[in-house]
Structure 1
Amino acid sequence: MNTVNLTINGRAASAACEPRTHLADFLRDTHNLTGTHIGCEHGVCGACTLLVDGVPTRSCITFAAACDGAEVTTVEGLDNDEIAAELRAAFMREHGLQCGYCTPGMLVSARDVVLRMQDPTEYDIRFIMSGNLCRCTGYVGITRAIQRVIADRRARGIAAIPDGDRAQLGPAGSGNAGAVSANGAASKAAASAAKAPVSSGVPTVRKDDGWKPQTTFAQGFTVAHPVDVVWDFFGRVGEVASCLPGASLAGEPVDGHVEGQIKVKVGPISAEFHGVADIVRDDTSRTGTIEGAGKDKRSNSATRGQIAYAVKEGDKPGETRVDVTIGFTLTGMLAQFSRSGLVQDVANRLISVFVQNLEARLTHQAQGGAPESAPVTAEFDAGSLMSAVILGQIKGFFSRLFRRR
């Protein structure tokens, strides 16, 4: 008997099994995850397809012991996955399922198509889905459902991730994938490449690609400092980033390009987005834009956004008005947060913290102190902010209710 340690649908799991036990049987019999269906048991029909380390895998011909230490996602683990949710709705609309036996494997494979392929033709989809067999539908509804989801996502500005963000080759779940030559023998050059740092998988900012944000809102605030001081401060990107809770830069901007990260906590989910941004400023109009993209590997969430800001004289002497327009798209596990009706309230509170930090730094600077030594709020816990927002909305509801009486 072998003890196999896996992360199954985001949770650590450990169980003993025979070395010959297939992953499908291990999941169904040991963990009661019966959404993984077993059909041919030869890796032909695709009914048992699931994700191992993010790669679609035939679990009926994969030994559980060979996946020790891997991350496994079954169809049950895709309940809150954005792409899978859109596919389920499209499968129902397009009549892409009948008996439903092949559907779990179909959804996993279809999700991979949506994730990786930017603009596939009907032939491309049929070809890549040919490893999943269905005896009921004739595949017409399935193909249409996948086409519909891809078209809808691309129309919303969500681009495909080339190769599904996979940087290595090798057996799914092995954890030891390395570059190999065409004939399967590792060469010295391939071995050197395997030791070299792999791509971080951070999305790049693509100019003029027609991207449109899913969510956009405007906000404005006033600070009690002259407009020239505030505009100069916005030009020091590192100091601006330090005012945003959880944000930090990997270095100073080079030709308007900068790399950095931001840590976000949403309830039990902790995310750390690593990304890049391009910065443009116009000293004449005192306006600027920041376009950025980032990814959190732990939750497999990705984001892209644009911030446009304008700095101008305030209503009172010595004050500055800053108007900000924010647009963003969020995919993956944390996309559930972006679709919430509370997101703008949370963003308003985040901006409020940013303004407090900004005021503290500018005041400290005006008093002769170093801006970086000013006390600021350094952490961002969206979960606690959400709780405060919900409580505020509940109080507002009852206040309005009793005023009517």
Structure 2
Amino acid sequence: MNMIALSVNQRAVQALAEPRTNLADFVREKLDLTGTHLGCEHGVCGACTVLIDGVPARSCITYAVACEGAEVTTIEGLDEDDVTTELRAAFTREHALQCGYCTPGMLVSARDLVLRLPQADERLIRVGLSGNLCRCTGYVGIVRAVQSVIEARRVRNIPPEPGGGRKILGPVGSGRSLDRGADRAERVRPVASGQTKLEAANAVDTIPDFIPATVLTQHFNVAHPSEQVFAMFSDIAAVAACLPGALLTAPPKPERVEGTIRVKIGPIAATFSGAARVESCPADMSGRIVGIGNDRRSRSSTQGEIRYSLVPIEQGAATRVELSIGYSLTGMLAQVGRPGLVRDLAARLIAEFAGNLDRRLSGASTGDIAPAELSGMSLLSGLLRTRVARWFGRFSSNKDGAA
């Protein structure tokens, strides 16, 4: 894994990526920008076209690590762009789209033509769009749409931009290495070998923010005042002791917590090793934990964010803990991690954590709180009980309705 830093849709992004990860998979899976579509995955169909430093490029044949320091713009980043707004209206007016799968890449390429071409020349437009394939429209409406936008802009005395943002000859981004090579070498770190003491996630200097692919919301109540619960949450070691399967591997600090968490359900087992940072706001008794980790055995990696807010209840004698849990998972485990199963597992983990937290606040010793790892049988039985209750509930509802 490499940690790469780049700008996506005018937003600074830092995330882990394998050297083989292409830019299309990176923006879709890491940033949840699914407007970039994958078709041929050979750089032929053009469905994956994005802007790299303002120039159209095939993201399916561009490595994400090669975009270190680059400015990437996907179709989502063109929502407020004047040219793209005109093109969207023209595509609708001229019936230039049907299934819409090619449309994001088509709009990015069409925008480049509108900027560069001095006149609405049909031949040049067809040549310029020849790298974007459409199996629905026959291209006639697409060409008319691009022509109409070019004509309208020239009538308004908006001149073409020579080169359309291109500053050098050669492939998109090829000149970046000339002035950013040293900077890139400093920021891109290779993966630590399997014999190093810590996993690659632990070697990362900073814990990056990210856009979660999935967000779950949960809550639970504890019979203790909010001030006492917030003080407990500020004790990182105590919180880790309440989380089943968690183990700290270094003295914790708010800016950096290193450790592992082990999950095992039946034959599926994973030990994520990583690092996190902890933020808290005493004014409103809220906080956030952001972390990254990877499981070497399954070659899976994850980024997670937990936001919590403490709400006094029962006239201040108890506390409602509201949680927002966001995560992104890649690798083998992402292929088998069904959202429903993950949601049920998260609910069970939170219930275990809430019980441990309540016992700790009541004065129980650390040894009486959390098991060394998550109990696969107890978690599985809990999930089965929940599922069976749902099935019986649906059966009863259907029976009552039939009656």
Normalised by the length of structure 2, the TM-score is 0.51
Q: What does 1:2-401 align with in structure 2 at a 5 Å threshold?
A: 90-91=38-39, 116-118=65-67, 165=191, 167=193, 197=196, 200-202=199-201, 204=204, 206=206, 211-363=210-362, 365=363, 371-380=365-374, 381=376, 386-401=383-398
Secondary structure at the residue paired with 2:351? helix
Structure 2 vs 1, CA of residues 166 and 274 (structure 1 numbering), >3 Å: closer, same or farther?
A: closer
CA–CA separation in structure 1 for the residues paired with 2:386 and 2:215: 19
Secondary structure at the residue paired with 2:347? helix
The residue type paired with residue 165 of structure 1 is V
Percent identity of the aligned residues?
32
Deviation at 1:256? 2.7
Structure 2 vs 1, CA of residues 94 and 246 (structure 1 numbering), >3 Å: closer, same or farther?
A: same
Contact kept, 8 Å, 1:267 with 1:384, in 2: the verdict is: no
Contact kept, 8 Å, 1:309 with 1:323, in 2: the verdict is: yes
Moved more, 232-241 or 379-388: 379-388
- Given the alignment of the two structures, is residue 404 of structure 1 paired with residue 401 of structure 2, yes or no? yes
CA–CA separation in structure 1 for the residues paired with 2:219 and 2:205: 26
Secondary structure at the residue paired with 1:399? helix
CA–CA separation in structure 1 for the residues paired with 2:132 and 2:267: 38
Contiguous gaps of at least 5 residues in structure 2: 1-17, 21-28, 46-58, 71-130, 134-171, 173-186
Contact kept, 8 Å, 1:265 with 1:383, in 2: the verdict is: no
Deviation at 1:317? 4.4
Secondary structure at the residue paired with 1:242? helix
The residue type paired with residue 250 of structure 2 is G
Deviation at 1:90? 3.1
The residue type paired with residue 395 of structure 2 is F
Deviation at 1:351? 0.7
Secondary structure at the residue paired with 2:211? coil
Q: Deviations over 1:106-163 (max 9, x none)?
A: xxxx999757555799xxxxxxxxxxxxxxxxxx799xxxx9xxxxxxxxxxxxx968
Contact kept, 8 Å, 2:303 with 2:328, in 1: the verdict is: yes
CA–CA separation in structure 2 for the residues paired with 1:293 and 1:353: 22
Contact kept, 8 Å, 1:275 with 1:294, in 2: the verdict is: yes
Contact kept, 8 Å, 1:205 with 1:276, in 2: the verdict is: no
Q: Which residue of 2 aligns with 1:27?
A: none
Contact kept, 8 Å, 2:307 with 2:325, in 1: the verdict is: yes
Contiguous gaps of at least 5 residues in structure 1: 1-53, 57-81, 98-109, 122-139, 148-160, 169-195
Structure 2 vs 1, CA of residues 162 and 298 (structure 1 numbering), >3 Å: closer, same or farther?
A: farther
Structure 2 vs 1, CA of residues 389 and 269 (structure 1 numbering), >3 Å: closer, same or farther?
A: same
Normalised by the length of structure 1, the TM-score is 0.51
Structure 2 vs 1, CA of residues 312 and 113 (structure 1 numbering), >3 Å: closer, same or farther?
A: same
Contact kept, 8 Å, 1:117 with 1:162, in 2: the verdict is: no
The residue type paired with residue 290 of structure 2 is E
The residue type paired with residue 246 of structure 1 is G
Structure 2 vs 1, CA of residues 292 and 93 (structure 1 numbering), >3 Å: closer, same or farther?
A: closer
CA–CA separation in structure 2 for the residues paired with 1:202 and 1:376: 25
Q: Deviations over 1:245-275 (max 9, x none)?
A: 1111113323531101100124422100000
CA–CA separation in structure 2 for the residues paired with 1:292 and 1:210: 9
CA–CA separation in structure 1 for the residues paired with 2:382 and 2:335: 16
CA–CA separation in structure 2 for the residues paired with 1:266 and 1:141: 46
Secondary structure at the residue paired with 1:334? helix
Structure number with the bigger relative contact order (C-alpha 8 A, sep ≥ 6) is 2
Q: Which residue of 2 aligns with 1:130?
A: none
Q: Deviations over 1:37-82 (max 9, x none)?
A: xxxxxxxxxxxxxxxxx999xxxxxxxxxxxxxxxxxxxxxxxxx9
The residue type paired with residue 90 of structure 1 is L
Q: Deviations over 1:176-228 (max 9, x none)?
A: xxxxxxxxxxxxxxxxxxxx948732164856x66200011221111011222
Structure 2 vs 1, CA of residues 375 and 167 (structure 1 numbering), >3 Å: closer, same or farther?
A: closer
Secondary structure at the residue paired with 2:231? helix
